[in-house]
């Protein structure tokens, strides 16, 4: 009797690598580009705020915009992604991210190098809010796509690699931002962020398959629609648990946001 053929020991690992590499142009490379641009901007926000006439404590408070959107943004961002699909949500917010950085460069540069006023301060605050919301959609959209694109046995590895790419971007970004500032342009970090966001958006538009995470509205035959009262109770229970988790993670998010803010102010 002949024994059945076995896969080589490295066959499964090789296939796993192929799956992860196939996600590089649609998920991992855009994530690296986005976080490189965002991490280049974050340490410069308080410095630009000081140049625009904010007090030191106001400059530090500005970066809480990103922390608040991380806390309050997942629910509306998730609904937006589920309604229009991951690809369309990522491309639209990517374009918005590019435009907001270009507007920030054109509007804020005269204020930083000239006589800043309330118009520059309000513009700065509004554009930071737009960037924070767009970044939130980008993060959730790619995580949602990974949840469907990766097989269950590879999700932990894929999500871990996603987090590792974010950390790599957080290392590269400040170095690029420091290089731009060394060339004599503090507001040049907006151009840097616009370029990285544009490159990531183009990669998503080209390589991310449309409709991967868009839910279907059809129900299986025989499935009953739950009663509105029971459904509302379930929604309240889920929201209460999410609120508790959010409150627990809020101090961690605050610490993560404050880390790249306090050091530039002390410097």
The CATH number given to whatever domain includes residue 170 is: 1.20.1250.20
pTM of the model: 0.77
Residue 100: per-residue pLDDT? 94
Residue 18 lies in a domain: no
Residue 104 lies in a domain: yes
Band of the pLDDT at 3, cuts 50, 70, 90?
very low
Per the structure, the count of domains in the chain is 1
Residue 9 lies in a domain: no
Q: What is the mean pLDDT of the chain?
A: 80
- pLDDT for residue 218 is more than 50: no
Residue 56 lies in a domain: yes
Contact 44, 191 (CB under 8 A): no
Angle (nearest 5°) at CA 38 between 129 and 40? 125
Residue 186: per-residue pLDDT? 86
Residue 17 lies in a domain: no
Full residue range of the structural domain in which residue 83 is found = 24-214+226-266
What's the rounded Cα separation, in Å, for the pair 64 and 40?
17
pLDDT in tens, 150-190: 888 888 888 889 989 999 998 999 999 999 999 888 899 99
pLDDT in tens, 102-153: 999 999 998 888 888 888 889 999 998 888 888 888 888 888 888 788 888 8
Computed from CA positions of residues 158, 151, 91, 132, in that sequence, does the dihedral angle turn out positive or negative?
negative
Phi and psi torsions of 7, nearest 5°: -70, 145
What's the rounded Cα separation, in Å, for the pair 63 and 68?
9
Residue 219 lies in a domain: no
Q: How would you classify residue 53: left for phi > 0, otherwise alpha for psi between -120 and 50, otherwise beta?
A: left
Of 185, 162, 200, 161, give the one whose Cα is nearest residue 38: 200
């Amino acid at each position: 009797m002949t024994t059945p053929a076995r896969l080589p020991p490295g066959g499964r690992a090789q296939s796993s690598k192929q799956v992860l590499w196939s996600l590089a142009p649609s998920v991992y490379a855009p994530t690296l580009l986005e976080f490189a641009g965002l991490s280049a901007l974050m340490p410069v926000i308080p410095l630009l705020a000081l140049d625009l006439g904010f007090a030191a404590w106001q400059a530090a408070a500005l970066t809480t915009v990103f922390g608040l959107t991380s806390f309050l943004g997942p629910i509306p961002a998730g609904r937006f992604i589920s309604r229009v699909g991951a690809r369309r949500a990522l491309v639209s917010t990517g374009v918005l991210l590019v435009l907001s950085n270009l507007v920030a460069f054109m509007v804020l540069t005269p204020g930083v190098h000239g006589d800043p006023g309330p118009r520059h301060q309000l513009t700065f605050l509004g554009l930071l809010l737009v960037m924070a919301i767009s970044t939130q959609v980008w993060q959730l959209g790619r995580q949602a796509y990974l949840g469907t694109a990766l097989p269950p046995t590879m999700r932990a590895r894929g999500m871990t690699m996603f987090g590792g790419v974010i950390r790599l971007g957080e290392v590269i970004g400040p170095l690029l931002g420091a290089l731009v500032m060394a060339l004599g342009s503090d507001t040049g970090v907006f151009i840097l962020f616009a370029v990285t966001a544009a490159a990531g958006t183009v990669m998503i538009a080209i390589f991310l398959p449309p409709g991967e995470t868009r839910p279907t509205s059809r129900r299986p035959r025989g499935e009953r629609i739950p009663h509105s009262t029971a459904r509302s109770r379930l929604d309240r229970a889920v929201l209460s648990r999410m609120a508790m988790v959010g409150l627990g993670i809020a101090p961690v998010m605050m610490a993560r946001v404050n880390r790249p803010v306090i050091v530039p102010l002390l410097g």
